Amino acid sequence: MTDYFSVKNPATGDLIQEVKINTEEEINLALKKGHDSFKKWSKINAHERSRLLQKWSKKINENKEEIAKVMTMENGKPLSESLGEVDYSTSYIDWYAEEAKRIYGRTIPANTESKRILVTKQPIGLVAAITPWNFPAAMMARKAAPALAAGCTFIVKPAVETPLTTIKFIELAHEAGIPEGVIQYVNGRGSMIGDLFSNSDYVRKITFTGSTPVGKELIRNSADTIKHVTMELGGHAPLIVAADADIDYAVKQTVGTKFRNAGQTCVCANRLIVHESILDEFTEKFVAEVKKLKVGNGLDEGTTVGPIINEKGFNKIVAQIKDAKEKGAEVVLGDKYDANQEKGYFFVHPTVLKNVNTDMIIMHEETFGPVAPITSFKTIEEAVELANSTPYGLAAYFFTTDYRTGTYLHDHLDFGIIGWNDGGPSAAHAPFGGMKESGLGREGGIEGIEPYLETKYMSIGGI
């Protein structure tokens, strides 16, 4: 009997589509197909792989409106953000279409006259990816593009909440001429597919974007077959506003980073740490700007904050706000909800909390929701200590017009991505990734293709 799971619109709870759950046998066959296809794909000329990636990017662009609409329906994000995500995704494909042609080796001067040492790179093999619901297109594209550019084959399991965007992307890859065995998708329960991926001898690399606990499990399960791993895991981004910051500018950038995708990103500012001398002014201006946001169905004109993806996510946000209030936080804005458990939609209105302290859960755990807790600091050293007091190390932001404060913060913050007067540092040409429990490896930039390559050297003797 064929099993299906339902993809529902988180803004309305309405059914969008039933998606077939792949059986264990089908998944193992797909892994074999990916493995078998590697022999041919890895030998295709890099310029030809580059051309195919360019064709894929073009096809996605031609279908941009349709893809964005599907993405908004399954994820809930405003249509403008979905359109932006399609562009963000193709920027990775375009970047790696170019990088495919720049997989260089080198020669090393040997220690005797009679030898030469030659270093070359080769693709590692079949790559298995597990991607999240918060960026259904971009997280897949920034894994698939470098994998294919390097000469690897690729199989992805998208999130059960948002498989439709991924399916469309992969259909377009096939239409662009990328062979079916080279890029594939499978659908089903994460733990079952994660186990099949990590136990398979065909898979040489696992790349995952998602929670830290799942990432740790995938790393553990990949140990027996010594797979390569890239892990983009949780975050708990601090955002520091120094006394000398341009406050109006900082407010606008903070709203951008905090409420993107209704706060459901790993790089969202999660803790606003503001100098005590400007705390009142910043809070007042921030609240005025947040009030302009419009909560609603992402397909409706003017919506800037969509729904929370599911009830579990909603309950976590509500519990964090409740805990903060019980421990003394003051609600300056929000703490308002529009939820219907029976229909299956859950909205949280943008919420601003002040007087928060480190006893509160929100100061330690990722919120993944439109909630901005504000605390203050006296000295920059104190701000750094607070910012770094987390096992996470993905993104951090700070606003200052003083280059000494800026350089100090850059040097002392233990985070892989830093935005200095920049609430949107993500870019295809930059190495996205985290320190500590936020992950392993980097995606994007020249660094992003390396994890898909093996280094090999040959010593030539008797010359």
Nearer to ligand SIN, 135 or 399 (CB): 135
Using CB positions, name the residue nearest to ligand SIN.
426
Identify residues 354-393 at the interface with ligand SIN (CB under 6 A). Answer: none
Interface residue with ligand SIN among 38, 95, 133, 135 (CB under 6 A) is: 135
Interface residue with ligand SIN among 267, 352, 360, 384 (CB under 6 A) is: 267
Strand order in the sheet with 106-108: 106-108, 116-123, 453-460
**Choices 134-142, 278-286, 350-358, 382-390; region in contact with ligand SIN by CB under 6 A:** 134-142
For 432, phi and psi rounded to 5 degrees? -70, 130
Rounded Cα distance between 128 and 37, Å, is: 14
In angstroms, give the least distance from the CB of 435 to ligand SIN: 15
Q: At what angle do helices 163-175 and 64-75 cross, to 10 degrees?
A: 160
**Choices 26-34, 52-60, 145-153, 259-267; region in contact with ligand SIN by CB under 6 A:** 259-267
CB atoms within 10 A of CB 14: 12
In angstroms, give the least distance from the CB of 438 to ligand SIN: 10
For 461, phi and psi rounded to 5 degrees? -105, 175
The verdict on 265 binding ligand SIN (CB under 6 A) reads: yes
For 44, the token pair is: 């295709």
For 27, phi and psi rounded to 5 degrees? -65, -40
| Catalytic residue flag (residue 152) | no
In angstroms, give the least distance from the CB of 419 to ligand SIN: 11
Nearer to ligand SIN, 134 or 198 (CB): 134
For 262, phi and psi rounded to 5 degrees? 55, 35
Nearer to ligand SIN, 34 or 434 (CB): 434
**Choices 41-49, 133-141, 177-185, 301-309; region in contact with ligand SIN by CB under 6 A:** 133-141
- Interaction mask 400-429, ligand SIN, x per CB under 6 A: --------------------------x---
In angstroms, give the least distance from the CB of 80 to ligand SIN: 16
Instruction: Say which residues have a Cβ less than 8 Å from residue 232's Cβ, sequence separation at least 6.
Output: 139, 208, 209, 210, 266, 394, 432, 433, 434, 438, 439, 441, 443
Q: At what angle do helices 46-62 and 64-75 cross, to 10 degrees?
A: 70
Nearer to ligand SIN, 92 or 154 (CB): 92
In angstroms, give the least distance from the CB of 32 to ligand SIN: 31
The verdict on 438 binding ligand SIN (CB under 6 A) reads: no
What one-character-per-residue DSSP string does 170-216 give? Answer: HHHHHHTT--TTTEEE--S-HHHHHHHHHH-SSEEEEEEES-HHHHH
Q: Identify the active-site residue in 81, 85, 152, 266.
A: 266
Identify residues 215-244 at the interface with ligand SIN (CB under 6 A). Answer: none
Q: Identify the active-site residue in 85, 232, 366, 443.
A: 232
**Choices 26-34, 63-71, 264-272, 323-331; region in contact with ligand SIN by CB under 6 A:** 264-272
Instruction: Say which residues have a Cβ less than 8 Å from residue 101's Cβ, sequence separation at least 6.
Output: 46, 47, 50
Rounded Cα distance between 386 and 372, Å, is: 16
In angstroms, give the least distance from the CB of 138 to ligand SIN: 6
Beta strands at 126-130 and 203-209: parallel, antiparallel or unpaired = parallel
In angstroms, give the least distance from the CB of 170 to ligand SIN: 20
**Choices 23-31, 131-139, 217-225, 404-412; region in contact with ligand SIN by CB under 6 A:** 131-139
CB atoms within 10 A of CB 462: 5
Rounded Cα distance between 440 and 278, Å, is: 37
Nearer to ligand SIN, 141 or 383 (CB): 141
The verdict on 351 binding ligand SIN (CB under 6 A) reads: no
In angstroms, give the least distance from the CB of 424 to ligand SIN: 8
Question: Rounded to whole angstroms, what are the CA distances from 375 to 5, 87, 387, 434, 442?
Answer: 43, 35, 11, 24, 31
**Choices 98-106, 265-273, 342-350, 368-376; region in contact with ligand SIN by CB under 6 A:** 265-273
Beta strands at 330-333 and 351-354: parallel, antiparallel or unpaired = antiparallel
For 226, the token pair is: 């010594």
For 180, the token pair is: 């079916």
For 412, the token pair is: 């002392």
Nearer to ligand SIN, 177 or 424 (CB): 424
In angstroms, give the least distance from the CB of 142 to ligand SIN: 8
Identify residues 179-218 at the interface with ligand SIN (CB under 6 A). Answer: 209
Contact 127, 154 (CB under 8 A): yes
Interface residue with ligand SIN among 50, 57, 72, 134 (CB under 6 A) is: 134
Binding region for ligand SIN (CB under 6 A): 134-135, 138, 209, 265-267, 426, 432
Any idea which residues carry the catalytic annotation?
232, 266
